[in-house]
């Protein structure tokens, strides 16, 4: 483990005003995204849309890293250039999703455990050789009747910690992503309680495994009302409760917290991040690692047709710029086009 380079990469990813594009949808998930624009889930469609994002001129002013699915790490453009090289040429770190998905737990079938530890070290070594400098593993915690169970939180935290240690041994910065889902009719208070418990358990496990905290990034959900909750907390409450939860559970050595968007709209995700950064200074950088909240409008602009590339670039650039402003607490809805 090269601690110095792990810490340097983690800090560079959350350098001032920069964040991550999560473009690591698995092939079936990408199929769902392409279905929204009536396009087939072909390798060419997956490549062309992702290449449009990566080709966007000056996106590197706002995007420091892109999380890729395995297919994309080795995929080539029509001109025969590896997509990850396009990122590297702009000084953007390629990252790689290394988990093998969330599967129903044996002991509690409405809950999920993320798998993928088998052969992980060898895979990480190969990914490093292919240019990846960071990795991602997503654990999923569901709120519902009688869940999450302690077993689910514990098992996912333990797997996240083992993954993080293996990544660091292979010199990849691990993004530790314990996602408490927005699905459900729970209140923001319940989300707070579950998120704090999940984060505390995760950091306990990271410590037990001997994970080097300056060489990780945390990717949590925001503390937010369940999607079907009849009372939706407003922007300030989301920002205040999210910060309170992180202050109570995330050690200061962690260089950055990069939120997932988790089903929030593009502007909600930007507004919430902005509100937190406008509220004060924190021991860690607060930035973004958005999937849907960075890609949705760009996907619709592209529409499966490369004749629309110019508008696709403009729309993606704008979304990335808005989130960069949110990292400084300088976003305002009036800046939307
Ligand atoms: P969303 O921002 O769409 O939640 O995606 C982020 C991600 O990487 C989920 O694992």
Structural domain contains residue 272 = yes
Alpha carbon nearest to ligand 1 atom 9, residue: 260
Give the pLDDT score at 81.
97
Give the 3-state secondary structure of residue 21: strand
Q: Which range marks the domain in which residue 212 is found?
A: 3-19+96-288+311-335
pLDDT for residue 277: 98
Strand segments (E) across the chain: 19-23, 63-68, 93-97, 102-104, 112-114, 134-141, 173-180, 217-218, 256-259, 285-290
Q: Is residue 219 part of a domain?
A: yes
Quote the pLDDT of residue 337.
80
pLDDT reported for residue 94 = 98
Question: Could you read off the pLDDT of 169-205 as tens digits, one per residue?
Answer: 999 999 999 999 999 999 999 999 999 999 999 999 9
Task: Please give the radius of gyration of the chain, using alpha carbons only, rounded to the nearest integer.
Answer: 19
Q: Is 219 one of the annotated active-site residues of the chain?
A: yes
Q: What is the pTM of this model?
A: 0.98
Does residue 177 carry a catalytic annotation? yes
Ligand 1 atom having least distance to the Cα of 24: 8
pLDDT 10s digits, 98-157: 999 999 999 999 999 999 999 999 999 999 999 999 999 999 999 999 999 999 999 999
State how many domains the chain has. 1
**Among 97, 112, 219, 325, which one carries the catalytic annotation?**
219
On the CB side of 110, CA atoms within 13 Å amount to 8
Q: Could you tell me the distance, in angstroms and rounded to a whole number, from the CA of residue 291 to the centre of ligand 1? A: 4
Q: Would you give the end-to-end CA distance of the chain in angstroms? A: 45
Residue whose CA lies nearest to ligand 1 atom number 5 = 291
Q: What percent of the chain has pLDDT over 90?
A: 99
Residue 29 inside a domain? The answer is no
Q: Which of 264-288 are b and which e, b meaning 16 or more Cβ less than 10 Å from the residue's Cβ?
A: bebebbbbbbbbbbeeeeeebbbbb
64 inside domain: no
Q: Is 113 among the domain residues?
A: yes
Q: Indicate whether 261 belongs to any domain.
A: yes
Cα 178 to ligand 1 centroid, rounded to whole Å? 11
Domain of 129, CATH number, reads 3.20.20.70
| Structure confidence at residue 312 as a pLDDT band (50, 70, 90) | very high
| Cross-strand bridge partners of residue 175 | 136, 217
Nearest-atom number in ligand 1 for the CA of 177 is 10
- As a three-state string, the secondary structure of 75-139 is CECCCCCEHHHHHHHCCCEEEEECCCCEEECCCCCCCEEECCCCCHHHHHHHHHHCCCCEEEEEE
Instruction: Please report the pLDDT score of residue 261 as a whole number.
Output: 98
Query: 243 in a domain, yes or no?
Result: yes
Residue with tokens 């599967």: 103
Ligand 1 centroid distance, CA of 333 (Å): 23
Average pLDDT, the chain: 98
Residue 34 covered by a domain:
no
Pocket test for ligand 1, best of 68, 265, 291, 296 (most atoms within 8 A of CB): 291
Q: What is the pLDDT of residue 244?
A: 98
Minimum-distance ligand 1 atom for the alpha carbon of 269: 2
**218-273 confidence digits (pLDDT tens):** 999 999 999 999 999 999 999 999 999 999 999 999 999 999 999 999 999 999 99
Which protein residues are within 6 Å of ligand 1, measured from CB?
22, 138, 177, 260-262, 290-293
Give the mean model confidence (pLDDT) for residues 289-296. 98
Instruction: Compute the distance from residue 23 Cα to the ligand 1 centre, in Å.
Output: 8
The angle, 0 to 180 degrees and rounded to 10, between the axes of the packed helices 309-327 and 292-302 is 160
């Amino acid at each position: 483990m090269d601690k110095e380079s792990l810490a340097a990469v983690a800090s560079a990813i959350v350098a001032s005003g920069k964040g991550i594009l999560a473009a690591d949808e698995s092939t079936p998930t990408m199929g769902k995204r392409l279905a929204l624009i009536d396009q087939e889930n072909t390798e060419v469609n997956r490549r062309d849309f992702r290449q449009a994002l990566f080709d966007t001129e000056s996106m590197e002013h706002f995007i420091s890293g892109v999380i890729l699915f395995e297919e994309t790490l080795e995929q080539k453009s029509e001109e025969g250039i590896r997509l990850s090289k396009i990122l590297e040429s702009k000084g953007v770190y390629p990252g790689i999703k290394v988990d093998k998905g969330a599967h129903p737990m044996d002991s509690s079938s409405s809950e999920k455990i993320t798998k993928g530890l088998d052969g992980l070290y060898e895979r990480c070594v190969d990914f490093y050789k292919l240019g990846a400098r960071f990795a991602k593993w997503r654990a999923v915690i569901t709120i519902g009747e009688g869940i999450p169970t302690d077993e689910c939180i514990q098992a996912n935290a333990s797997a996240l910690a083992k993954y993080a240690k293996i990544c660091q041994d292979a010199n990849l910065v691990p993004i530790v992503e314990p996602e408490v889902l927005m699905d459900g009719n729970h209140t923001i208070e319940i989300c707070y309680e579950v998120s704090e418990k999940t984060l505390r358990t995760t950091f306990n496990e990271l410590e037990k495994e001997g994970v080097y905290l300056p060489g990780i990034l945390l990717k949590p959900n925001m503390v937010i009302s369940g999607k079907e909750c009849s009372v939706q907390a407003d922007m300030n409450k989301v920002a205040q409760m999210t910060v309170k939860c992180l202050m109570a559970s995330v050690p200061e050595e962690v260089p950055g917290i990069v939120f997932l968007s988790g089903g929030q709209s593009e502007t909600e995700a930007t507004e919430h991040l902005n509100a937190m950064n406008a509220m004060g200074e924190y021991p860690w950088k607060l930035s973004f690692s958005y999937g849907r909240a960075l890609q949705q409008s760009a996907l619709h602009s592209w529409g499966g047709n490369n004749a629309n590339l110019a508008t696709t670039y403009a729309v993606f650039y704008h979304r990335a710029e808005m989130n960069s402003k949110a990292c400084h607490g300088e976003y305002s809805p009036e800046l939307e086009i």
